[in-house]
Amino acid sequence: MSDFDVIVVGAGPAGLLAAGRVAELGGNVLVMEKMRQEGRKLLITGKGRCNITNDSSVADFITNVYPNGRFLRNAFSQFFSKDIIELLNKYGVDITLERGGRYFPTSNKAADILQALLKWVNELNVEIRCGYRVERLIVENNVITGIQANGQEFIARRVILATGGKSYPATGSNGDGYELSRQVGHSVEKVRPALVPLETRGGVAQRLQGLNLKNVRAVVWVNDKKKGENFGEMIFTHFGLSGPIILTLSRLVVDELHNKNKVEIIVDLKPALDEQKLDNRLLRDLNENGKKRIRNVFPYWLPAKMVPVFFDLLELDPEKECHQISSKERKQIRYLLKNLRFRITNHRSFKEAIITAGGIFTKEISPKTMESKLVNGLYFAGEMIDLDAKTGGYNLQIAYSTGWLAGNSCMKNA
């Protein structure tokens, strides 16, 4: 049996920040990671480029975190985007600010972020044991005394759980932490996939597979009521819809699907033009090209891949000449350009979800310290807490900030 000030469970970004901070404050810390390698998920973030964090203010961060961003005010005030950037810079990572306030390593390699964090914790003599799966928390009279991993017991005065969520389970985050927490009396808000692609009815999305649209607006309708919208980029896939704006809207959609509501996404392909301006544009193009076949004019308005799909949806003869297009047909074209409708039948599974919504109830965690309100000496950090955010580097910042605060509090409360 070994004896540690702190044991951290999980060597993702939250766990590494927690362990590093404990060691900075002089603590003797052990990190238990069940995979053979640390930070497996971190390596695939941002399509392998890692969107490290965002340059938004604390207030903006808070509004972009669900369901209770205010829970993070203290964590953000103690360790925020400038702090992680400073730390990474110190360990040799150059960072570039991109569109949307997103920070990436200049090398475009997520591996550089992991390496820098590992270099930091190694310098501080943090001990990491990979291949150790924590299977039980040891609690006596509401006080944590250690953990059990691979059948062995390890004693510690404090334990920080940073086991991640349930998405992309092949990276190691398969929901273990929820079960460990339940065993010691914590409640877990229903976990569901978030930032996840959506499946659609009918074959339209499938026919458009691979097509990427920029500057479009997607509106979510639930039981025929408008519930949310987003503007930007999306992509069609072999099962339905994906891409940044769809992933962002998915948080709302998943909940509505679980509530068995009718969900539709209506895509406005011409959001910059109101009905009148779009009509003027169609009229002008039709008049100027009166003798041309309509199939040769549609590409003025749409990506080529969409043209045959539009003719089918409109039941319009592509061989018609432009001067033969009636005002009713023009109205139908205009309507479809602004209302391409998809019935959402399902969401993809945790295997394809960037983040997990739900998790350990924030009401049972102190926002000042990240300590459990139920078990003395137990702390939480990262994605396993019932907090999730939109894309843009917000989710990783939640992991660093809560990890750092948990590590800091462990030592300050000692």
Ligand X SMILES: Cc1cc2nc3c(=O)[nH]c(=O)nc-3n(C[C@H](O)[C@H](O)[C@H](O)COP(=O)(O)OP(=O)(O)OC[C@H]3O[C@@H](n4cnc5c(N)ncnc54)[C@H](O)[C@@H]3O)c2cc1C
Task: Give the interface with ligand X as residue ranges (CB under 6 A).
Answer: 9-15, 32-35, 40-42, 44-46, 50-51, 133-134, 162-164, 167-168, 172-173, 176-177, 354-355, 382-383, 393-396, 399
- Asked whether 9 and 104 are in contact (CB, 8 A), the reply is no
Query: CB 381 → ligand X: shortest distance, Å?
Result: 7
Query: CB 356 → ligand X: shortest distance, Å?
Result: 9
Nearer Cβ to ligand X (11/257): 11
From the list 290, 295, 283, the residue with the least C-alpha distance to 331 is: 283
Nearer Cβ to ligand X (395/408): 395
- What would the two tokens of residue 151 be? 């059948």
From the list 144, 247, 138, 231, the residue with the least C-alpha distance to 196 is: 247
Task: State whether residue 321 is helix, strand or coil.
Answer: strand
H or E segment and range at residue 398: helix 394-412
Nearer Cβ to ligand X (184/337): 184
Instruction: Show the CA angle centred on residue 317, arms to residues 316 and 318, nearest 5°.
Output: 105
Max distance between CA atoms of the chain, in angstroms, equals: 87
Query: CB 316 → ligand X: shortest distance, Å?
Result: 40
Query: CB 395 → ligand X: shortest distance, Å?
Result: 3
Q: 3-state secondary structure string, 322-371?
A: HHHCCHHHHHHHHHHHHCEEEEEEEECCHHHCCEEEEEECHHHECCCCCE
Nearer Cβ to ligand X (172/358): 172
Query: CB 31 → ligand X: shortest distance, Å?
Result: 9
CA separation for the pair 331, 156 (Å, rounded): 71
Nearer Cβ to ligand X (192/334): 192
Query: CB 360 → ligand X: shortest distance, Å?
Result: 11
Nearer Cβ to ligand X (47/291): 47
- What would the two tokens of residue 316 be? 């319009």
Query: CB 140 → ligand X: shortest distance, Å?
Result: 21
Nearer Cβ to ligand X (244/318): 244
Q: Which residues of 142-155 are buried (b: 16+ CB within 10 A; e: fewer)?
A: eebbbbebeeeebe
Phi/psi region, residue 238 (left: phi>0; alpha: psi -120 to 50; beta: rest), is alpha
Query: CB 14 → ligand X: shortest distance, Å?
Result: 3
At residue 224, what are phi and psi to the nearest 5 degrees? Answer: 70, 15
Nearer Cβ to ligand X (182/277): 182
